[in-house]
Amino acid sequence: MKSPGTLLLRRDDVARLLSMEDCIAAVEQAFRLYGEGKAAPPGVLGVNVEGGGFHIKAGVLALRQSYFAAKVNANFPDNRKRFDLPTIQGVIVLCDATNGRPLAVMDSMEITAQRTGAATAVAAKYLARQNSTVVTICGCGSQGRYQLRALAQVLPLSKVYACDISSDQAKQFASEMSRELGLQVVAVADLGSAARQSDVCVTCTTSRQPLLAPDHVSPGTFIAAVGADNPEKQELYPALMANNKVVADMVEQCAAIGDLHHAITAGLMTKAAVHAELGEVVAGKKTGRTSDQEIVIFDSTGMALQDVATAAVVYEKATRTGCGVTLDFAA
């Protein structure tokens, strides 16, 4: 029997096929299925090299059909400066989980960027005050843009503070995103001052030193800590984590590579002190926010099931629209 082949999709194909609205819906479904115990825990493998590292994230989800996806991502923070290359590069292999057939190979950059923003949006839907209008974005690179686009889908935002180690980058972010989203976006230098005036604060940097301190945060704030995706990266002071409600995307993964890792290392938290995983909240098994004064922190390290769900959306839309190129690897 001749193989129907494997669909190849470039980044611009993925970008055309995947809307942020669809990505948020897919990621929310992935968290819900995991929280309901209908999806096995995904796997992750990390390999560090000089100047960066690689990680492989893999998982299975039963959606319209049963899908397996494995993502191989490279993360090299100095790539722009050294080689004029993106920080994150990689591919996703999507397979039929019932027979192993490779359905698609697609660029991972757009999926990683969108699904990371989408996870914050899902967390905000369940953990932020629903009348939140002011947000601080700390880290005004590509991911900061996706974070803001995603939050604008689920919250009634009206004002944004943009903070970055590069004032020029913050100003460019403010100019571009105010035009794109029709919001008041202001570049600021003082993260603490901006965060204290915000309902939501997102950190999406490559920092290896904590940036957001307890005295930077007002009662009722929702914080999404997005940047720490290896043990060396850190964005939140451990005391900020220890003194407030923490929801992890995956507790074990956050304890190994997220801001939770640093709070545990500092002796201020244990894994048992984490209130919930996001999937448990989405599935209704654990509470989310319980008061308007509560500070809630989402420790986001990236769950492979987000990639599976998002890649499935892209593949299904590509097959409906005839997008991409088909290659028979077995020929």
What percentage of the chain's residues is helix, strand, coil (to nearest 5)?
A: 40, 25, 35
CA separation for the pair 300, 296 (Å, rounded): 13
Count of CB atoms situated within 10 Å of the CB of 317: 17
* 66-75: strand order across its sheet: 43-49, 52-62, 66-75, 88-96, 102-107, 6-9, 325-327
Sign of CA dihedral 139, 141, 143, 149: positive
The answer to whether 306 touches 119, Cβ cutoff 8 Å, is yes
Catalytic residues: 71
Residue 195 tokens, joined: 């965060």
- How far from the centroid of its chain's Cα atoms is residue 325's Cα? 28
Q: Please report which helix (H) or strand (E) contains residue 136, including its range.
A: strand 134-138
Residue 127 tokens, joined: 């953990």
CA atoms within 13 A on the CB side of 169: 14
Q: For 40, which DSSP code?
A: P
| End-to-end Cα distance, the chain | 12
CA separation for the pair 42, 40 (Å, rounded): 6
Residue 196 tokens, joined: 């204290």
Count of CB atoms situated within 10 Å of the CB of 323: 17
**Residue 38: CB partners within 8 Å, gap ≥ 6?**
62
Closest among 38, 26, 73, 83 to 306, alpha carbons compared: 26
